[in-house]
Amino acid sequence: MKKSQKRKVMYKLKLLIAASEVVPFAKSGGLADVSGALPKALRALGHDVRVVMPRYYIVDREKYGLKRLEGTLGVPMGIMGEAWAGIYEGVIPDSDVPVYFIDHEGFFGRKGLYDEEGEGYGDNDNRFIFFSRSVMQLAKMLRFKPDVIHVNDWHTALIPILLNTTYRNDPDFKHAGTLLSIHNLQHQGKFYKGAMDVLDVGWEHFNANELEEYDGVNFLKGGIVHADAINAVSKKYAQEICTPEFGWGLDTLIKDKAYKLYGILNGVDYDEWSPAVDTLIPRTFDLDDLGGKEVCKLALQKEFDLPQLSDIPIIGLVGRLAEQKGITLLSAAIGKLMELDIQIVLLGAGEKWAEHFFMDVADKYPEKFACYVGYQNDLAHQIEAGSDLFLMPSLFEPCGLNQIYSLRYGTVPIVRATGGLDDTIENYDSESKSGTGFKFYDATPEALIGTVKWAVDTWYQDKTGFEQVRRNAMQKRFDWKEAAQGYEDLYRHIIAGRLSSSE
Ligand code: ADP
Ligand code: GLC
């Protein structure tokens, strides 16, 4: 074998990515964007990547051409006995990355992913124990023998402990390592301790150093302890979660595990999120021809019934209406913001009080504030394309994708300097005209209002400055290729660690 060929063979990794949501099949937030895009980027680097997710009711089997694999998968569920899963197989569109869907009518044949009408399903512990166990059983059924199992958030955080206990001596997982990505530390999967009897890894793991927390089970905690490495989707967030302010009670533990904590930043799928190729916006545009942006702006004003004026800045907001996103700050600031010569367009769904609050604001200021309560992907693209500024006043933000999309669309971000928002946006400097956005630090309505005013003043009074920030923003790239290379290095590091510890 020639040297170069040998190197290529050596370099191919077998990676199993488990996630509770994957674009385009099912999505509630950025986790789905990441678990749809990262596998494609890893595949482009030459690796054998497979993805596993639940087959929720909303996953459209026909649209995505999913095929049912023969047979059923036996999934041991402790005191519940054995459960049986059907397996569907498909691919991530525009790729040859296989995706396996775990089908179980009782656990996943429901309207929501995790909840309905804001009410979490009462059996989420069993649902995700089942899913995690299915991932392991599926790997065996496929004889896949992964080098690394990459799990995401609390839903799949039990996999590292399953690997270290139940599957410890299983030859199919002989050298398998695990990576846990934390996309959001707030949600940890905390349940009644009875879940231990279903998980069935042994009650000896129900202790304060592993799965136990205040006499209940904490899935994410187990993952943090048992994974070979942890990735918190930005460098800043990796630092923040070691502090009480952002640690949600796990900061001491995470600080303890800092030796295996990384902060690889998410990338962006520019096939989906680029104004040059976006098929969901009225007119494409790019840095060398911004004419289309003006068309998108007027169309957005029309769509939202706002006066069609090109010289007034539109501030866009898209996101879950959750505390994390700074909705309380925004609601406290809105009165003052409405005194400015601006228009605001908001797209979001989530906390009921916030949905009602922002609909009332729209009634009160019909010329200035418009909102759509719901989830609508094409509108998200149109807001990115048609707005001039994009506001993300998050209290915490592990990575944040919308501000990165905004950069590419020349929609200058106004962000609170936390987590990935701080890492991806450079503050505007009016002297040098450098920077890609406007940042504020304090989580107060005053700081938010002051920074929006600064951005709006720049729009009206420092036009060349504003145009320069827009250009700086549009030139920024956060390619998945680079992020995937970071993951590849980390996977290899994990594998090396596993190999040396088994010697
Ligand atoms: P998070 O994962 O915390 O919700 P991110 O910024 O990482 O935040 O990702 C949010 C993703 O979900 C983006 O792709 C965004 O466009 C999308 N999104 C959020 N809310 C909506 C909505 N109401 N309609 C359409 N897309 C939405
Ligand atoms: C989470 C975070 C968000 C991040 C996304 C993808 O939902 O809230 O900041 O961008 O996951 O990693």
Predicted pLDDT of residue 140: 98
**402: in domain:** yes
**276: in domain:** no
Residue 390 has pLDDT above 50, yes or no: yes
Residue 26 vs residues 15, 61, 153, 325, 457: alpha-carbon distances, Å: 21, 12, 16, 21, 40
Close Cβ partners of 275 (under 8 Å, ≥ 6 residues apart): 281, 284, 285, 286, 292, 293, 296, 384, 385, 408, 409, 410
Q: Which domain holds residue 330?
A: 291-478
Radius of gyration of the chain (CA): 23
Query: How do beta strands 343-350 and 369-373 pair?
Result: parallel
Residues 149 and 262 in one domain: yes
**279: in domain:** no
Residues 60 and 90 in one domain: yes
Predicted pLDDT of residue 354: 98
**149: in domain:** yes
For residues 219 and 191, the answer to whether their CB atoms sit within 8 Å is yes
For residues 41 and 411, the answer to whether their CB atoms sit within 8 Å is no
For residues 113 and 55, the answer to whether their CB atoms sit within 8 Å is no
Which tens digits make up the pLDDT trace of 175-217? 899 999 999 999 999 999 999 999 999 999 999 999 999 999 9
Q: Which of 166, 486, 501, 452 is nearest to 326 (CA)?
A: 452
Predicted pLDDT of residue 442: 98
Residues 41 and 166 in one domain: yes
Report whether residue 233 contacts ligand 2, using a CB cutoff of 6 Å: yes
Residues 399 and 345 in one domain: yes
Close Cβ partners of 257 (under 8 Å, ≥ 6 residues apart): 224, 225, 230
Which tens digits make up the pLDDT trace of 157-173? 999 999 999 999 999 99
Predicted pLDDT of residue 500: 79
Structure tokens at 219: 């899935």
Query: How do beta strands 148-152 and 438-440 pair?
Result: unpaired
Residues 249 and 300 in one domain: no
Predicted pLDDT of residue 73: 98
Which tens digits make up the pLDDT trace of 422-471? 999 999 999 999 999 999 999 999 999 999 999 999 999 999 999 999 99
With bands split at pLDDT 50, 70 and 90, how would you rate the model's confidence at 355? very high
Predicted pLDDT of residue 503: 62
- For residue 126, the SS3 value is helix
Q: Is the dihedral of CA 9, 12, 13, 14 positive or negative?
A: negative
Predicted pLDDT of residue 118: 79
For residues 330 and 344, the answer to whether their CB atoms sit within 8 Å is no
Number of domains in the chain: 2
Query: How do beta strands 14-18 and 261-262 pair?
Result: unpaired
Predicted pLDDT of residue 501: 77
**277: in domain:** no
Counting from 1 in the atom list of ligand 1, the atom nearest the Cα of 184 is: 3
Taking phi over 0 as left and psi of -120 to 50 as alpha, with beta for the rest, 148 belongs to: beta
d(CA 337, CA 332): 10
Q: What percent of the chain has pLDDT over 90?
A: 95
d(CA 178, CA 443): 36
d(CA 78, CA 162): 13
Counting from 1 in the atom list of ligand 2, the atom nearest the Cα of 31 is: 6
Predicted pLDDT of residue 1: 43
For residues 151 and 51, the answer to whether their CB atoms sit within 8 Å is no
Residue 458 vs residues 187, 276, 316, 344, 437: alpha-carbon distances, Å: 38, 26, 17, 17, 11
Which amino acid does the sequence have at 135?
V
**Can you tell me which residue has the tokens 């320069």?**
468
Residues 217 and 353 in one domain: no
Q: How far does residue 320's CA lie from ligand 1's centre (Å)?
A: 6
Counting from 1 in the atom list of ligand 1, the atom nearest the Cα of 347 is: 23
Residues 215 and 312 in one domain: no
**Can you tell me which residue has the tokens 């879940």?**
195
Residues 409 and 497 in one domain: no
Q: Which of 111, 75, 92, 81 is nearest to 19 (CA)?
A: 92
For residues 41 and 486, the answer to whether their CB atoms sit within 8 Å is no
Nearest CA to ligand 1 atom 2: 30
With bands split at pLDDT 50, 70 and 90, how would you rate the model's confidence at 342? very high
d(CA 328, CA 358): 11
Residues 246 and 133 in one domain: yes
Report whether residue 318 contacts ligand 1, using a CB cutoff of 6 Å: yes
CATH code for the domain in which residue 474 is found: 3.40.50.2000
**156: in domain:** yes
Q: Could you give the angle at which helices 327-337 and 352-364 cross, rounded to 10 degrees?
A: 10
Report whether residue 266 contacts ligand 2, using a CB cutoff of 6 Å: yes
Ligand 1 pocket: which of 114, 181, 320, 423 to mutate (most atoms within 8 A of CB): 320
Report whether residue 401 contacts ligand 2, using a CB cutoff of 6 Å: yes
Close Cβ partners of 159 (under 8 Å, ≥ 6 residues apart): 18, 132, 135, 136, 149, 151, 178, 223
Structure tokens at 268: 């962006």
Residue 6 has pLDDT above 80, yes or no: no
**286: in domain:** no
Which tens digits make up the pLDDT trace of 397-413? 999 999 999 999 999 99
With bands split at pLDDT 50, 70 and 90, how would you rate the model's confidence at 335? very high
**Can you tell me which residue has the tokens 């690997």?**
163
Which amino acid does the sequence have at 469?
V
Which amino acid does the sequence have at 88?
Y
In terms of Cβ atoms closer than 10 Å to its own Cβ (0-12, 13-18, 19+), residue 288 is exposed
Residues 219 and 97 in one domain: yes
Mean confidence (pLDDT) of the chain: 96
**259: in domain:** yes
Residues 240 and 102 in one domain: yes
Residue 386 has pLDDT above 70, yes or no: yes
Higher pLDDT, 487 or 2: 487
Ligand 2 pocket: which of 27, 401, 480 to mutate (most atoms within 8 A of CB): 401
Residues 134 and 241 in one domain: yes
